[in-house]
Chains A and B, each alone.
Chain A
Amino acid sequence: MSEKAVTEEKRVFMTGNEVVAWAALAAGADIMYGYPITPQNEVMHYWTRLAPKYDKKFLQTEDELSAGFATAGGVMAGRKAFTATAGSGSVLMQEPMAMAEMMRLPTVAVLQQRGGPSTATVIYSQQEVTLTTIGGNGEGMRVVYSTAGHQELYDYTIKAFNTAWKYRFPTFVLGDGYQAKMREPLTIYDPETRGISLLEPEPFVGKEGEPGKDRPPAQYRNTFNLEEELYEKVMSDIREFEKVAPEIAEYESMETEGAELVVIAHGIVFRAVREAVANLRQQRFRVGGFRPVTLRPLPVTQIKELVAGAPKILLVESSYGQMARLLKEVACGSATEISTFFKPGVGITAGEVEARVKEIIKS
């Protein structure tokens, strides 16, 4: 066995893409398959420099379809495999991820959202939420962690491997171009020294023994003959997903108790919300903040409680309502007044959130 990449706790100052590479090493990832697209490239750059030192592998594929399908192959071979992409790459990645959904493959994909639609900008957005949570021609049986900075990129990249291998649903770490490219401090650590045990991967194919003699052959398909046959399969996955959803769902909330208005945002936008809520509280506004950390599955119970308790909700995101659609579905039937602040493909500051809150409260 190769030595561990991260042994002691260490405060470091690096870009988010570098954080992802270190986190994947700390999580015991074996192989990365990737294809260049900004702003994800440096995940590959750091991985290709670090990986050989720790007996890890890398393959640059011909496109994101191939990166995704090779990642599916890697996990089927019983290795912790992952990929990273963004933007139009995320679009192509949906095809292999649909297969991962159908075959219940523990793939891990890190997405650094860039502007959309199309090539748009290489900078930043939160416009890959629908794609990542619902994805291709399926029912969205996937886990999506939306991170809000470097510490979380590290924590949740590690967690993503465990979640994927525990529940066997394709798992995504949804970052963005800001998180990819910015530098800020964080603490890296060996998860095992913090009591996080890393799940061992198991092969789907290429198992011990001769198939048909020592054991039945392991055969995986994504095609079904009959509607009923498919229905059985899909419903059994949905039931399982719904059963484990409360275990997987995570959230962060601040000052929501008795708040007149709660601002909901996810990912890096919640940093602006945290700051805005703190400032508004100082100005004696009864305002709180709530953030779904998992966009899939959503922390449904908490969202329902929130909309039942808060007279007003403000949804803030760097897309034209992709998170809002998910939340409104959960909030459906509630009497709360929902306002929005959408800036598709553009970063959001605390000042802007504050101004919007005041506008709503005063109206």
Chain B
Amino acid sequence: MQPAPVMPKTWRVDTKPHKFCPGCGHGLILKCLGEAIDDLEIQSRVVYGCDIGCSLLSWDLFNLDTVQAHHGRTTPVMTGIKRARPELICIAYMGDGGGYSIGVQHLVSSAMRNEKITVIVANNTQYAMTGGQMAPTTLPGQKTETSPFGRDPGTTGMPFRGAEMISSIVQEGAYVARGSIANLRQLTGYLKKALKNQIEGKGFSFVEALSSCPTNWRTDAARTWEFIEKDMAGYFKVGEIKIPGRGEVTADA
């Protein structure tokens, strides 16, 4: 018998193993999120929302009240819950397609209104559930199913730096950071700070997590890590971008 893997207390044991592909970053990010919730002891107050895309596979991952919404619409559902019941802690979890493309108006507007919710965007540079199409976050030259010869910035623009965009529109009190599955301790810290920001009612909180998709990237383990740590992190700087009381901080922090 194998020893049971260590899971956050908020994870449901009966729905494990989870449904993500081998090497997928979602499981790691959601483990960090689970640990953050455990540490803050807020399990009975959290409402967790997930999107369409691979994030939907987390609809029964936690021992948390959960809503799985439409593509990009998790943010307004969580906004609706938070506005109706401010004592609840609302987390909207989605991919970069849901956050930065089809649901970007919701993300921008909820950030501008300083909604007291926490939005987490897993950035794996493409649409994974639908088979690996180009996303706003696809890197220049990166091959996807809809950019088979590599993304051409001349015709499709440059990758979208969502966390920086959010930090430029939020007001004082908001928390914005970008973590990575390459540094789980740091990512858990960011998620914890984001949730604390919501609990303390300071403002909007946002964490982008650089994530992996070896299935669609068609990468082996070594190249997967290299892509996250070099290619992605080279364009999407990891670090805290906005901390209440400290204004704008440099992305290299």
Answer yes or no: are A and B bound together in one complex. Answer: yes
Q: Which A residues fall within an 8 A CB radius of B?
A: 30-31, 33, 57, 59, 61-63, 65-67, 69-74, 76-79, 81, 95-96, 99, 103, 203-207, 209-214, 217-223
Q: Which residues of A contact B60 (CB under 8 A)?
A: 217, 219, 221
User: Nearest Cβ distance between residue B249 and chain A, in whole angstroms?
Assistant: 28
User: Nearest Cβ distance between residue A55 and chain B, in whole angstroms?
Assistant: 13
B105 interfacial contact with A, CB 8 Å = yes
The answer, among B56, B69, B77, B88, for a CB contact under 8 Å with A206, is: B88
Q: Given the complex of chains A and B, what is the CA–CA distance between A210 and B76 in angstroms?
A: 25
Q: Which residues of A contact B82 (CB under 8 A)?
A: 73
Q: Is A223 a contact partner of B43 (Cβ separation < 8 A)?
A: no
Q: Is B76 a contact partner of A69 (Cβ separation < 8 A)?
A: yes
User: Nearest Cβ distance between residue B248 and chain A, in whole angstroms?
Assistant: 25
The answer, among B62, B67, B70, B106, for a CB contact under 8 Å with A76, is: B67
B196 interfacial contact with A, CB 8 Å = no
Q: Which residues of B contact A96 (CB under 8 A)?
A: 70, 73
B44 interfacial contact with A, CB 8 Å = yes
**A73 and B68 contact, Cβ closer than 8 Å, known pairs A79-B85, A221-B59:** no
B30 interfacial contact with A, CB 8 Å = no
The answer, among A66, A70, A209, for a CB contact under 8 Å with B44, is: A209
Q: Given the complex of chains A and B, what is the CA–CA distance between A204 and B109 in angstroms?
A: 26
Q: Is A81 a contact partner of B80 (Cβ separation < 8 A)?
A: yes
Interface string of B92-118 (1 = CB under 8 A from A): 000000000000011011000000000
Q: Which residues of B contact A223 (CB under 8 A)?
A: 52, 56, 59, 68
Q: Given the complex of chains A and B, what is the CA–CA distance between A76 and B10 in angstroms?
A: 21
The answer, among A63, A71, A214, for a CB contact under 8 Å with B105, is: A63
Q: Is A217 a contact partner of B66 (Cβ separation < 8 A)?
A: yes
B212 interfacial contact with A, CB 8 Å = no
The answer, among A61, A77, A213, A219, for a CB contact under 8 Å with B76, is: A61
Q: Which residues of B contact A214 (CB under 8 A)?
A: 44
B219 interfacial contact with A, CB 8 Å = no
Q: Which residues of A contact B65 (CB under 8 A)?
A: 204-207, 211, 217-219
**A72 and B44 contact, Cβ closer than 8 Å, known pairs A62-B105, A66-B109, A220-B68:** no
B238 interfacial contact with A, CB 8 Å = no
B63 interfacial contact with A, CB 8 Å = yes
The chain B residue sitting closest to A60, CB to CB, is B113
B64 interfacial contact with A, CB 8 Å = yes
Q: Given the complex of chains A and B, what is the CA–CA distance between A303 and B62 in angstroms?
A: 49
Q: Which residues of A contact B66 (CB under 8 A)?
A: 205, 217-221
Q: Is B56 a contact partner of A221 (Cβ separation < 8 A)?
A: yes
Q: Is A57 a contact partner of B84 (Cβ separation < 8 A)?
A: yes
Q: Which residues of A contact B43 (CB under 8 A)?
A: 210-212
User: Nearest Cβ distance between residue A31 and chain B, in whole angstroms?
Assistant: 5
Q: Given the complex of chains A and B, what is the CA–CA distance between A294 and B68 in angstroms?
A: 31
Q: Which residues of B contact A63 (CB under 8 A)?
A: 105
Interface string of B21-49 (1 = CB under 8 A from A): 00000000000000000000001110100
Can you pick out 27 interface pairs between chain A and chain B where the beta carbons lie within 8 Å of each other? A31-B84, A57-B83, A57-B84, A59-B80, A69-B69, A72-B69, A73-B67, A73-B78, A77-B81, A79-B84, A103-B67, A206-B45, A206-B65, A206-B85, A210-B43, A211-B43, A212-B43, A217-B12, A217-B60, A217-B64, A218-B66, A219-B65, A219-B66, A220-B59, A221-B60, A222-B68, A223-B59
User: Nearest Cβ distance between residue B81 and chain A, in whole angstroms?
Assistant: 4
Q: Is A31 a contact partner of B83 (Cβ separation < 8 A)?
A: yes
Q: Is B67 a contact partner of A205 (Cβ separation < 8 A)?
A: yes
**A73 and B80 contact, Cβ closer than 8 Å, known pairs A95-B70, A206-B85, A211-B43:** yes
The answer, among B59, B64, B79, B84, for a CB contact under 8 Å with A66, is: B79
Q: Given the complex of chains A and B, what is the CA–CA distance between A99 and B49 in angstroms?
A: 14
Which of B43, B44, B63, B65 has the most chain A CB within a 10 Å cutoff? B65
Q: Is B69 a contact partner of A222 (Cβ separation < 8 A)?
A: yes
Q: Which residues of A contact B106 (CB under 8 A)?
A: 62, 65-66
Q: Is A65 a contact partner of B44 (Cβ separation < 8 A)?
A: no
Q: Which residues of B contact A218 (CB under 8 A)?
A: 65-66
Q: Given the complex of chains A and B, what is the CA–CA distance between A70 and B49 in angstroms?
A: 12
Q: Is B77 a contact partner of A69 (Cβ separation < 8 A)?
A: yes
The chain B residue sitting closest to A209, CB to CB, is B44
Known: A70-B83, A217-B60, A222-B70. 4 other contacts (CB 8 A): A61-B79, A95-B70, A95-B73, A206-B65
Q: Which residues of B contact A69 (CB under 8 A)?
A: 69-70, 73, 76-77, 80
Q: Given the complex of chains A and B, what is the CA–CA distance between A212 and B83 in angstroms?
A: 25
The answer, among B45, B62, B67, for a CB contact under 8 Å with A220, is: B67
User: Nearest Cβ distance between residue A319 and chain B, in whole angstroms?
Assistant: 28
**A30 and B64 contact, Cβ closer than 8 Å, known pairs A70-B79, A217-B12, A223-B52:** no
User: Nearest Cβ distance between residue B156 and chain A, in whole angstroms?
Assistant: 25
The answer, among B47, B70, B105, for a CB contact under 8 Å with A99, is: B70
User: Nearest Cβ distance between residue B169 and chain A, in whole angstroms?
Assistant: 13
